[in-house]
Amino acid sequence: MMQRLIKVDGKVRTDKTYPTGLMDVVEIEKTNEFFRLLYDVKGRFVVHRISKEEAGYKLCRVKDVKYGSKGIPCIITHDGRTVRYPDPLIKANDTVVLDIETGKIKDFVKFDVGNMVIITGGRNRGRAGIMIHREKHKGTFDICHVKDAAGNTFATRMANVFVIGKGTTPLITMPKGKGVKLTILEEAARRNNK
**pLDDT value at position 129?**
94
* Mean of the per-residue pLDDT values of the chain: 92
Instruction: Specify the pLDDT at position 183.
Output: 86
What pLDDT shows up at residue 184?
87
Instruction: Choose among 41, 178, 59, 167: nearest CA to 116.
Output: 167
pTM here?
0.88
Contact 86, 75 (CB under 8 A): yes
Strand boundaries in the chain, DSSP class E = 6-8, 11-12, 25-28, 33-39, 45-50, 57-67, 73-77, 82-84, 95-99, 105-109, 116-119, 128-135, 143-147, 153-157, 161-166, 169-170
* Region of poorest pLDDT, from 20-34, 92-106, 154-168, 172-186: 172-186
Segment 44-64 mean pLDDT: 93
pLDDT, one tens digit per residue, over 92-124 is 999 999 999 999 999 999 999 999 999 999 999
- Tell me the per-residue pLDDT of 25-42, one tens digit each, with 9 for 90 and over: 999 988 999 999 999 999
pLDDT at position 179 is 85
